[in-house]
Chains A and B, each alone.
Chain A
C-alpha cells in the first residue's frame, strides 16, 4: 500500500466515521411505547376488532400483497410482480421469495387464496368485503403464482388488496393469536391495557430500527396526554383533544407534527326526505355555515377546510371550497326560492362523543340566523348504527368518516344518506372499470365536482392528524392513513 492510498483510506475512514456515529445515534434495541385511544377488541380484522387492529397490526404483524404507504400511494409488498390481462378481468401475481410466517412456514400461493377468501367469506365483518365482491375465482397454478379472475374490471384491486392480511392457511382462529409475515410478532398482550410487538428475526425485508413496540391503550384523552407528559409513552398516534396541544407545542421536549388526515366531519342529510330532497335547501344550509369559524373554534390553527367529501390525499381531489361558500344573504334567498321563506325545523341526530355535540350547537346557532330551527337529539354510537345506518330513520345527522377513498359511497343510492344522482352512480361505476388510473381519476374528479354542486352533504372540515412524540423519537408515520401506524422505522436516541 502506498502512502497515498493510506492517506486516502484514512481520509475515507475520517469521512465515514461521523456517518457511522450518526447511524448509531439511536438504540437499535429500543422499546418504543406508543400511546393510543384505539384498543383492538380482538386480533382479527375480519371479526369486528375495530380500527385499533389496523393501527397495531397493518404492516407491523401482517402484510398484504400491496401496501398503502403513509404518503397515500399503493406499492407492492408481498408481490414481486403482477400483470393484468388485456380485458382487465385476470390478474396474475408472482409472490416474493424467502418470505416466512412467524410460525416458520414459507409463504405460498395457497396462503394468499386462503387469506382473500377469509375476507370475502360469509362470516367476515371486513369493511372491504363489498369492494372485493367482483372476485369470481382464485387459482394457484404453482407455489409462487396467484391468478385472480374478476366479474368486472376493477382498477382498485391492488388498493383493495392492501387491506387483505396475508395469513398462514394453517392458522384457524386468529382472534387471540397471530401468524403473519411482518417485521414484528405478537408479544405480551393484556386486554384493556397494552399489547407488545417484538422484532421478528426471520423477517424477509429490512429489519426494524427498534427492538420492541408496546401499544399502550387509554380510554381517556387526558390520561393519554399525561402519559406522554410523564414519559410513560414516547408517542401519541393521534391527538383528539385540541385543548391539550398547548402543553406540548411550546415545550422543546416534544415534537408536534401535523399530517394529512382522511377523517371528515360531515353533516349528512337524509336526501330521501323533505326538505333535504331539495338541492336548494341543501345549498342554503351549506352557505349558512361559517366553516372557517367552526374549525377554528374546535381546532384553532389545525385542520383543513374541504368543499366536498374528498381529502387532498385522494388522487381525485380538487379544491371545491368555493362552491357554496359562506354567504348568509344568498342562503336566505335560496331558502325562499325553495319555498321556505320562513325557514323550517329539523332534528339533528348527534352522536354523544366529541366533537359532534359542540358542532351541533354551532350549527343550531348558525341556522337560527336563516330561520331554520335545529332540534338536537343526542344518541350513542350504537344507536347511530341502528337508527341511521341500518334503518335510515333520520332527517340529518353528524358523523366522522375516517376512510381514505370513500367518495364511492356517493355512488350507492342505498347508502344511509340516500343521495341518488344517476350521473354520479355511473361515474363511480365507470371509474372502477376504468382501463387506466388516469381514467379512474378523471371520472372520480368529475363525480367529486357533481356532489359538491349538489351539496349532497355538508362537509364541515377535515380533522387534523396530529402526532405528538418525545423529542428523542423519530421515524413514525405522520399521516396515519386508514389508521395505520407503521412502527418499523421508529428510532429512539439514548
Chain B
C-alpha cells in the first residue's frame, strides 16, 4: 500500500485504499499533491472556524457564571463563580487559552457539569453518528432508485408524481415530519417509541435500535427528497448525452449503457452533492434530536448555549465543523478518483 492509502486508512478512509492501489503511479502522485493541498486548506478552515466560534460566542449577552447560580446568590458567590469559569479574565487571555488548548486537542471540562468535554462528545456521538448514518442510508435508498426512475420514466405519470412528491418533501420542515411520524407510529399505532434513548446505550441493542427508527426515517425522508432531485437531474443529463447515444449505437442495451457509462458520469455531480447532503444530514440529526429527546450532540449544544457553557459549545461546534470539513474533503478526493478530468484542477468543492 502506498503512503496515501496508508494515510487514508489511518484517517478512516480505508474504503478508498483498494481504489488507489489499483491505480497507476502518475495518477497517484497527482492525487497525493491534491490531497496535501486540500489538507492545508482543511487546517486553515478549522482555524478560521475556531476564531469565528470564539468571537460569536462572546458576542452573546450573558455570563457563563450565571448558569451555576440561582436567585438568592450573594455578590461573593457571583464573583467566585466568575473566577471559576474564567469569565472575569480579559478576552485575549481567554482566547489564548482556547487556541492553546485546541492545538493540544484539549477541549477542557464543562463549566456546569464539570465533565470532560471530549468524553461527553464521545458519549453523544454514540447517538448522533448512528442517527446520521441511518438517516443517510434511508435517504440514499429512497433517492437513488426513485431518482433514476423519475428520470428514465419522466414522460410517465409516476415519473412526474415522484418529482412532485419530492418537491413537497423539500418544502416540509424536518421537525414537522418528526411530529407527524410520532403521532402516527407512536401515539396512534403504538408500534415504535415516541422518543428517548436506552439508558444502557448500545449495550441494550434492541432498545437502542428501535429508538433510532423513527428519527432516522424522519431525516431520511426529508434528505432523500432533495437528494432525489439531484439524482433525477444528473440522470436526465446523462440520458441526453452523446456518449450514451454512441454506446447504444455500438450495440449496448439501454440498461447496459446506463450502468456502464451513465452511472459513472452521473455520479460525479451527485457525489459533490452527497458530501453536502451528508453534512446537512448530520446537522438535521442535531435538530431532530430535540423532537425525539435523544441525548446526542444537538441536545448537548442547545443546552450548552442556553447556559453559556463555553467549553461545551466550543467543543461541539469545533468537532461538528471538523466532521463537516472532513466530509467535504472526502467528497473532493472521491470525485477525483472517479473523474480523471478533475485531477488536473485544484477546485475545492466544499
- Nearest B-chain residue to A194, judged by Cβ: B199
- Does chain B have a CB within 8 A of A219? yes
Contact B200 A385 (CB under 8 A): no
In this assembly, does A76 line the interface, its C-beta being within 8 Å of a C-beta of chain B?
A: no
Query: How many contacts A-B (CB < 8 Å)?
Result: 146
A223 adjacent to B292 (CB under 8 Å): yes
Which of A41-49, A94-102, A304-312 forms part of the interface with chain B? A41-49
Known A-B contacts A193-B199, A230-B190, A232-B196; the reply to A223 vs B293 at CB < 8 A is yes
* Bound Cα distance A403, B70 (Å): 11
Within 8 A of B (CB), among A159-209: 173, 175-176, 188, 190-194, 196
Interface with B: A270-278, A375-383, A423-431, which one? A375-383
Residues B78 and A390 in contact, CB atoms below 8 Å apart: yes
Q: Count how many chain B residues have C-beta atoms less than 8 Å from C-beta atoms of the other chain.
A: 52
* Complex alpha-carbon distance, A99 and B74, angstroms: 34
Instruction: Please tell me if A261 contacts chain B, counting CB pairs below 8 Å.
Output: no
Q: Which residues of B contact A214 (CB under 8 A)?
A: 199
Complex contact A223–B194 (CB within 8 A): yes
**Does B115 belong to the interface (CB within 8 Å)?**
yes
Q: B113–A216 contact, CB under 8 A?
A: no
**Per a CB cutoff under 8 Å, which of B69, B70, B74, B113 touches A41?**
B113
- Tell yes or no: B61 within 8 A of A by CB: yes
Q: Which of chain B's residues have a CB closer than 8 A to the CB of A128? A: 72
**A47-B306 Cα distance, complex, nearest whole Å:** 18
Q: Any chain A CB within 8 A of the CB of B172?
A: no
**Which of chain A's residues 342-380 have a Cβ closer than 8 Å to chain B?**
379-380
Contacts of B300 on A, CB cut-off 8 Å? Answer: 191-192
* B196/A216 in contact, CB under 8 A: yes
Residue of A nearest to B296 (CB): A192
User: Chain A residues with Cβ under 8 A from B199's Cβ?
Assistant: 188, 190, 193-194, 196, 214
A156 at the interface (CB under 8 A from B): no
Cα–Cα, bound, A48→B63 (Å): 14
How many angstroms from the CA of A214 to the CA of B199 in the assembled complex? 9
The answer to the question of A27 belonging to the interface, with a C-beta cut-off of 8 Å to chain B, is: no
Give per-residue flags for A114-131: 1 if the beta carbon is below 8 A from chain B beta carbons, else 0. Answer: 000000001111011110
Contact between chains at B306 and A380 (CB < 8 Å): yes
Q: Is A437 an interface residue (CB 8 A)?
A: no
Q: A129-B77, A227-B195 are in contact. Are A382 and B293 (CB under 8 A)?
A: no
**Chain A residues numbered 214-256 whose CB sits less than 8 Å from any CB in chain B:** 214, 216-220, 222-224, 226-227, 229-230, 232
In the complex, which residue of chain B has the Cβ closest to the Cβ of A381?
B306
A42 contacts B77, C-beta separation under 8 Å: no
Q: Which one of A176, A220, A226, A389 contacts B290 once the chains associate, using CB atoms below 8 Å?
A: A220
Whether the pair A385, B295 counts as a contact (CB closer than 8 A) is no
Residue in contact with A383 in the complex, picked from B61, B120, B196, B295, CB distance below 8 Å? B61
Given contacts A48-B68, A188-B199, A190-B201, contact A226 B187 (CB under 8 A): yes
B203 to chain A, nearest CB (A): 10
Q: Please count how many residues in chain A sit with their CB below 8 Å of the partner chain's CB atoms.
A: 51
A232/B194 contact (C-beta < 8 A), A42-B113, A47-B68, A192-B124 known? yes
Interface residues of B in 129-159 (CB under 8 A from A): none
Q: A125-B81, A229-B187, A382-B308 are in contact. Are A48 and B67 (CB under 8 A)?
A: yes
Closest CB in chain A relative to B173 CB, distance in Å? 15
Q: Are B66 and A385 in contact (CB under 8 A)?
A: yes
Chain A residues contacting B291 (CB-CB under 8 Å) are: 220, 223
Interface readout for B293-328 with A: 1 if CB under 8 Å, 0 if not?
111100110110011100000000000000000000
Partner of A123, one of B69, B80, B190: B80
Using A220-B290, A226-B186, A232-B196 as known contacts, say yes or no to A191 and B72 having CB atoms under 8 A apart: no
Question: Are B295 and A192 in touch, CB under 8 angstroms?
Answer: yes
Question: Contact at A191–B115, with CB atoms within 8 Å?
Answer: yes
Chain A: CB-nearest residue to B70: A127
**B56 near A: Cβ within 8 Å?**
no
Which residues does A use to contact B, with CB under 8 Å? Answer: 41-42, 47-48, 122-125, 127-130, 173, 175-176, 188, 190-194, 196, 214, 216-220, 222-224, 226-227, 229-230, 232, 379-383, 385-387, 389-390, 399, 401, 403, 409, 416
Interface residues of B, Cβ cutoff 8 Å to A: 61-63, 66-74, 76-78, 80-81, 84, 112-115, 120, 123-124, 179, 182, 186-187, 190, 193-197, 199-201, 290-296, 299-300, 302-303, 306-308
Query: Can you name 23 A-B pairs with beta carbons within 8 Å?
Result: A42-B113, A122-B76, A123-B80, A125-B68, A127-B70, A129-B77, A130-B72, A175-B114, A190-B295, A193-B196, A193-B295, A219-B302, A220-B293, A227-B196, A380-B61, A380-B306, A382-B62, A382-B63, A382-B67, A385-B63, A385-B66, A386-B63, A403-B72
